[in-house]
Amino acid sequence: MAFRGGTMLILTMMALLEIQICSSEINRGNFPNGFVFGTASSAFQYEGAVKEDGRGPSVWDTFSHTFGKIIDFSNADVAVDQYHRYEEDIQLMKDMGMDAYRFSISWSRIFPNGYGQINQAGVDHYNKLINALLAKGIEPYVTLYHWDLPQALENKYSGWLNASIIMDFATYAETCFQKFGDRVKHWITFNEPHTFATQGYDVGLQAPGRCSILLHLFCRAGNSATEPYIVAHNVLLSHATVADIYRKKYKKIQGGSLGVAFDVIWYEPLTNTKEDIDAAQRAQDFQLGWFLDPLMFGDYPSSMRTRVGSRLPKFSQSEAALVKGSLDFVGINHYTTFYAKDNSTNLIGTLLHDSIADSGAVTLPFNGTKAISERASSIWLYIVPQSMKSLMIYIKQKYGNPPVYITENGMDDPNSIFISIKDALKDEKRIRYHTGYLSYLLASIKDGCNVKGYFVWSLLDNWEWSAGYTSRFGLYFVDYKDNLKRYPKQSVEWFKNFLKPTK
């Protein structure tokens, strides 16, 4: 059940007290047998080597090389060079005691043009990565799509805006099942479809950078009123098509499972009024519900049907049957919490008709001028650990307690020339962050939530999309000025102690 905005301060104080009581004792032994701990990454943010071994360009290569799109004018051509340093990085995971590594495959390394001829060098690389992980006892959790669409498909038919992509994605996914599925037992078809649908096609702040001219003058093309919904619809049908292929042809032989990683901000009503309570639910409907409702129930939330109307695509009867029940597990990327306030009378939003205005909710991490909690470095990331439990209980109650993996959780520090490496390694705030969120995750498990694993974002500092290199999420500090050397932050030692086997 959602906490009410009027009691947030008291609940925050209680939360801090609860964390202090249990944090000194929390360790992996408190979690159920078989609970998985790992770190998470994505190909574009980690690999580099963008022009090596036959890899084709992606929409993020194009976007990051477009002037003014990345805050520090950087790109990910080198990133943190994991393409060449994966063995070193796997050893770092092993030394910490991690069980698993969540990484993504670059579609354009397997199919440089998005379809057609397979690039064997790309297949060879991921075979070496998977085998190196397994040799160290680390389980691969593989994301098939983490935003890096082959640019060739964007050029050919506008990528996710065209239903042709469903079969091209299915061919790519099935190729991965054939090449890697004998060893990969956990597949994530999509990372944060809500993020790339809205950021890429509504507000234009991420690749391919589309939005309505009315909304952002710097977007060359787009329609914020329709395109996010079209993209989301094609993503859902792509996932369901791939799930159907896997279950019919590979699941029995390979014994794997398949899910989606959803981005979820938790929303607290700004006040105790019915209007704000309803607004918080609508905000969640237009975020998690937009994608998880069809996968669980066969259709979009009723609030979306009502408010978006004919701009929201419809599933045919056969499509609804294909989509419904096509998840084996739910991945949750959860970092932060915002307030939600009713905004159903927003005239500008009514005129623009984008997906944000359609929700009829304003979501901000402020109550007037007061922040909801302590902030990390990113302007959107506020530390509210008790919401982890609220979110898990919400998923349990609304969606029938499906298996859940926390596929991302973490916080960032600033990358500043004024902070020495010695000081950057002192990341007590990150330790407090993970202590708090893990404590409330454990509390949700004790309340019956079916949570199976937890992945830290991220093993290394890395290239953070539009934020470039300005943000450091890593457990390991990466020295961008000295050959990308990795240095353990204090949180590494904390996780080593946390993950020590218990008797």
* pLDDT at 352 (0 to 100): 64
Element (H, E) at 414: strand 413-414
3-state secondary structure of 200: helix
280 close to 267: Cβ distance less than 8 angstroms: yes
* pLDDT at 108 (0 to 100): 98
Q: What is the pLDDT along the chain (503 residues), one digit of tens a residue?
A: 333 344 444 444 444 444 443 445 799 999 999 999 999 999 999 999 999 999 999 999 999 999 999 999 999 999 999 999 999 999 999 999 999 999 999 999 999 999 999 999 999 999 999 999 999 999 999 999 999 999 999 999 999 999 999 999 999 999 999 999 999 999 999 999 999 999 999 999 999 999 996 656 779 899 999 999 999 999 999 999 999 999 999 999 999 999 999 999 999 999 999 999 999 999 999 999 999 999 999 999 999 999 999 999 999 999 999 999 999 999 999 999 999 999 976 555 555 678 999 999 999 999 989 999 999 999 999 999 999 999 999 999 999 999 999 999 999 999 999 999 999 999 999 999 999 999 999 999 999 999 999 999 999 999 999 999 999 999 999 999 999 999 999 999 999 999 998 76
Find the radius of gyration of the CA atoms of the chain. 22
* pLDDT at 344 (0 to 100): 72
Fold of 31-265+382-499: TIM Barrel (3.20.20)
Q: What positions carry a catalytic annotation?
A: 192, 408
Element (H, E) at 317: helix 317-323
- Write down the pTM of the prediction: 0.94
The torsion angles phi and psi of 85, rounded to 5 degrees, stand at -115, 20
Query: What CA–CA distance (Å, rounded) separates 439 from 426?
Result: 22
Q: Domain residue spans in the chain?
A: 31-265+382-499
Q: Nearest 10 degrees: CA dihedral of 484, 263, 320, 286?
A: -140
Length of the chain: 503
Of 494, 331, 492, give the one whose Cα is nearest residue 408.
331
The amino acid sitting at 134 is L
For 211-232, letters b (16+ CB in 10 Å) and e give bbeebbeebeebbbbbbbbbbb
Q: Can the peptide bond before residue 208 be classed as cis, meaning omega within 30 degrees of 0?
A: yes
- Which residues of 230-352 form beta strands (DSSP E)? 257-263, 266-269, 329-333, 337-342
**Cβ contacts of residue 174 below 8 Å, gap of 6+?**
242, 245, 249
Strands of 337-342's sheet in order across: 266-269, 337-342, 361-364
Query: What CA–CA distance (Å, rounded) separates 349 from 342?
Result: 13
185 close to 256: Cβ distance less than 8 angstroms: yes
The torsion angles phi and psi of 84, rounded to 5 degrees, stand at -100, -20
